[in-house]
Structure 1
Amino acid sequence: MQLEFPLELRQGTVPQSLIRASFPAIYRLDADLGTVKTQKIIGLIEDGYLWKREHTERKSLTANEYFNYCKIAYIAARSEGELFDENLSGRELYRMFADGRDDGLLQIDGDSNKEFSDWIDHRHPLRRTGGHPWEIKRGGNTTHISLVVYRPTYSQNERYVVELHGESLGRMAETVRMFLAIHEAGLPISIANAEAVRKRLLAQDTVGIIPAHVSYHRANQRFRKDQDVFEVMHYKDIGRYKRRVTPFITWEALPILRPLDS
């Protein structure tokens, strides 16, 4: 029965390296970044740089220092046709590009360590909830870029982790450019799921094959985390390369069908 079931309706995985080799015109994250930046971030991850506290954490932080991070990020990831004055402050650029729901971050004293500390710990009277203060580049619920600040788990009342999040394929190159620019500025910075970033750049991840009736939106969440699926496609998307690719697809087992009790 499994042999007869339409492949267009099945779910499975295929090595990203095979997809990359089979589709010469497919978008490649490593090509977008270029060799130098690709090798740089892979080296930082493989050398364990991001697993050392002094490289990812700060002892203190103010709102204006956070906005300076944002300014470096905006300039580094500026796309073609995205015009803005680099002389603008980080605060002004944040107003221009961020989500707009800042939860009071723009209202606190920008130079006060204590006010930022109270704000992040929800003790500041100007702190609101329900917004997206860390969403520094607007997008959909899976296609925005965030520069998140949080307390490390071992220290709830001191120190800060500053971390970039932008895992959708369309924003990953921007996110990596932001990360490298902040790193090169000598500031502590982390990037979410660093090992996954490395795997995606080296095509060591897998592509999910989803049934034809399933939407692409969040479809990678249909797969286990250990399967390293960040992108998905329908079987029909393989097109004229089906004969080459199909033998290497690992299909998930079909559910066992049982007759209804009479």
Structure 2
Amino acid sequence: MSCDLYAPAIRRYIQWMASAGYCGDGHRFPLDEKSGQYLDALFGVLRKLEPVNEDGYYELWLQAKRGTPEDFGDFEKFRAAGEVESFAEFEQLWKTEFPDEIEWYHFAAAENPENGFRVVSLDHRLILEVAPGQGDGGTEDVSEFLCWLLQAVEEALRKMERGEYLAWLEENLPAKHRTGTIRRKDMWKVFPEEKGQFLNGLSSADVQAFLDEAAEAPTEQEKLLPELTANAYYRFCSLGYQALNYPVAALSPKEQYFRYADGRDGGLRDIDPDSAEAFSWWYWTGPREGHPWEVCRGGFGPSLHLNVQKRENGYYLVVAIYSPYWTVEAVRFYLALHRAGLPVWIQDADVLKDRLTGEERVGIVPAGVDPFYCDNYFPGQKIMEFMNLPSEKAEAFAALCHWQSITVSDLKEKP
């Protein structure tokens, strides 16, 4: 049976099958008989392959044609809905949504042979989660889609049997679907305006001071604070707030902290602010109940921390951020405390130095992958920022990237 689906129909299936009400919340549904047969055939073919990891996942790259405007949709319905006024606008909309004549899809699937549980993802989205005996309430017919998927996988296997598949991917897979890295200074070559935006007015003198002086942790010989109080900590924060030009003139250091910090102080506000003993007691009991070191809150996103660390010979401070977007603020905060003679260090100092000089590598993840928490794409590398290939100046940008080799399944028994 031939099941030629075009990219618009495949997108509709992906969007429907990956929607939260479908399987995004763990909902599983029974397939009708024909769909089940295609799924069985699909996994029968996949068993000819070697999984790419210890979890047993098969991975491939598949293709589909864009098709014609008629495959995109019904022009009259689009016009009636007010989305277009002419067929020319309809064609333009089709090409905007599907600019390439060939669409590529990352495919991954796995099964547990002991209980029959199966998962399938397409375009980096979970679309199918099936287990024997699941669900009540009828069956779903996705046979057309699974037939296409089976054919696409079989075509990939035929290329493998001819020894062509991997070389074909390396030559033809568009850069936007690749994984790699780019130096920040090379990004700035393509988008020079971004360097100024990134450094956000940080002077060359401050950059050099940070490069010369910043370190991640003290040595055993360095002098630390023999004791610490809550009021002293608030004063340290105030130095940082002033360096960031926060409005602080009418506020005490403590008031500044409770205006700009996270607010979940773990009981810091309740201890005697001038007692070193009270701070020491709180330090070992209170911080676990809140976010007292989050001194510049970031809402649901990243933030800036001024952590307190303790060694036998005293306390010291560590500035920490978890997003490149706070780099300049972290540098200014650190330098303000450092120039005040305080024992302060900064987390990931070498990474931040590379960031300021443009030597840091940014991770490029495939289209369809949200560029957050993508460390697993870069094993053995310390990558702290991720992005998809930009659509603007993509070719010039891609030429400066260092691309990883494509990883896909291979035949268990090569011809």
TM-score normalised to structure 2 length: 0.54
Q: Does 1:231 align with 2:231?
A: no
Quote the offset at 1:27 in angstroms: 4.0
Q: Does 1:42 align with 2:197?
A: no
- What is the alpha-carbon distance in structure 2 between the residues aligned to residue 44 and residue 77 of structure 1? 19
- The count of aligned residue pairs is 244
**Structure 1 31/132 Cα, relative in aligned 2: closer, same or farther at 3 Å?**
closer
Paired position in structure 1 for 2:182? 14
Contact 1:99/1:136 (8 A) holds in 2: yes
- For structure 2, list consecutive stretches of 5 or more residues without a partner in the other structure: 1-168
Superposition pairs for residues 31-110 of structure 1, below 5 Å? 32-45=201-214, 51-52=218-219, 57-78=224-245, 82=246, 84-110=247-273
Q: Does 1:249 align with 2:401?
A: yes
Superposition pairs for residues 121-160 of structure 1, below 5 Å? 121-122=284-285, 127=286, 129-140=288-299, 142-152=301-311, 155=312, 159-160=314-315
Q: Does 1:26 align with 2:190?
A: no
Q: What do residues 42-89 of structure 1 show as CA deviations (whole Å, max 9, x unaligned)? A: 1113xx6964456673221111111110111111112xxx5x342422
Paired position in structure 2 for 1:112? 275
- For structure 1, list consecutive stretches of 5 or more residues without a partner in the other structure: none
**Structure 1 142/248 Cα, relative in aligned 2: closer, same or farther at 3 Å?**
same
Superposition pairs for residues 181-200 of structure 1, below 5 Å? 181-200=336-355
- What is the alpha-carbon distance in structure 2 between the residues aligned to residue 98 and residue 31 of structure 1? 22
Name the aligned partner's letter for residue 105 of structure 1.
L
Paired position in structure 2 for 1:201? 356
**Structure 1 247/149 Cα, relative in aligned 2: closer, same or farther at 3 Å?**
same
Quote the offset at 1:14 in angstroms: 1.7
- What is the alpha-carbon distance in structure 1 between the residues aligned to residue 216 and residue 376 of structure 2? 29
- What is the alpha-carbon distance in structure 2 between the residues aligned to residue 49 and residue 193 of structure 1? 6
Name the aligned partner's letter for residue 103 of structure 1.
G
Name the aligned partner's letter for residue 38 of structure 1.
V
- What is the alpha-carbon distance in structure 1 between the residues aligned to residue 223 and residue 243 of structure 2? 19
SS in 2 for 1:110: coil
TM-score normalised to structure 1 length: 0.83
Name the aligned partner's letter for residue 403 of structure 2.
W
Contact 1:8/1:211 (8 A) holds in 2: yes
Quote the offset at 1:167 in angstroms: 3.9
**Structure 1 224/2 Cα, relative in aligned 2: closer, same or farther at 3 Å?**
same
Contact 2:200/2:328 (8 A) holds in 1: no
SS in 2 for 1:67: helix
Q: What do residues 100-121 of structure 1 show as CA deviations (whole Å, max 9, x unaligned)? A: 1111111111111111111111
Name the aligned partner's letter for residue 174 of structure 1.
E
Of structures 1 and 2, the larger Rg is shown by 2
- What is the alpha-carbon distance in structure 2 between the residues aligned to residue 56 and residue 139 of structure 1? 32
Name the aligned partner's letter for residue 239 of structure 1.
E
- What is the alpha-carbon distance in structure 2 between the residues aligned to residue 170 and residue 105 of structure 1? 28
Contact 1:220/1:231 (8 A) holds in 2: no
Name the aligned partner's letter for residue 68 of structure 1.
R
Name the aligned partner's letter for residue 145 of structure 1.
L
Q: What do residues 160-181 of structure 1 show as CA deviations (whole Å, max 9, x unaligned)? A: 2211112422211111111111
Paired position in structure 2 for 1:2? 170
- What is the alpha-carbon distance in structure 1 between the residues aligned to residue 203 and residue 280 of structure 2? 38
Percent identity between matched residues is 29
**Structure 1 128/11 Cα, relative in aligned 2: closer, same or farther at 3 Å?**
closer
Higher mean alpha-carbon deviation, 7-16 vs 52-61, is at 52-61
Contact 2:216/2:348 (8 A) holds in 1: no
Contact 1:148/1:162 (8 A) holds in 2: yes
- What is the alpha-carbon distance in structure 1 between the residues aligned to residue 409 and residue 376 of structure 2? 25
